[in-house]
Amino acid sequence: MIVFHWAPVSRRRSIERAGLKPGSVSRNRQWRPPFISYSPDPAWALASANSYHEVAEPMDLWQVDLDEAPITHSETFSHSPDPHAPVVEVRLYERIPARFATRLATRRADE
């Protein structure tokens, strides 16, 4: 499964060096989530990022192939009472090494 994650451009160097790491301080500096939230759809991933707090800074779109990355613990959510609803969120509790994270695009703050 291919999943996507939006992260502030200010974190690009860290992601390129160390990968995507759970437990980093959130953008609004109010918590340290023990997971990173991804989505099978880039638009859903952006909506998820925006639901925590307004995305008002440039963001990079990262892609991870879960079939290739070394994952042992994840959770999936549809956020719908319908048991047949598609998965819109995947939470990963482990660091994704940089070699498994591909930066696809950058979104300006005003988009």
Query: Mean pLDDT in the chain?
Result: 85
Q: pTM to 2 decimals?
A: 0.84
Per-residue pLDDT tens for 84-95?
Answer: 777 788 999 999
**Domains delineated in the chain:** 2-107 (3.20.170)
What is the Cα–Cα distance from 67 to 50, expressed in whole angstroms? 27
Quick: pLDDT tens for 15-25. Answer: 999 999 998 87
Cα separation, 64 vs 36, whole angstroms: 12
pLDDT (0 to 100) of residue 53: 55
- C-alpha pair distances (Å), 108 with each of 12, 32, 53: 14, 25, 16
Strands 2-8 and 59-65: antiparallel
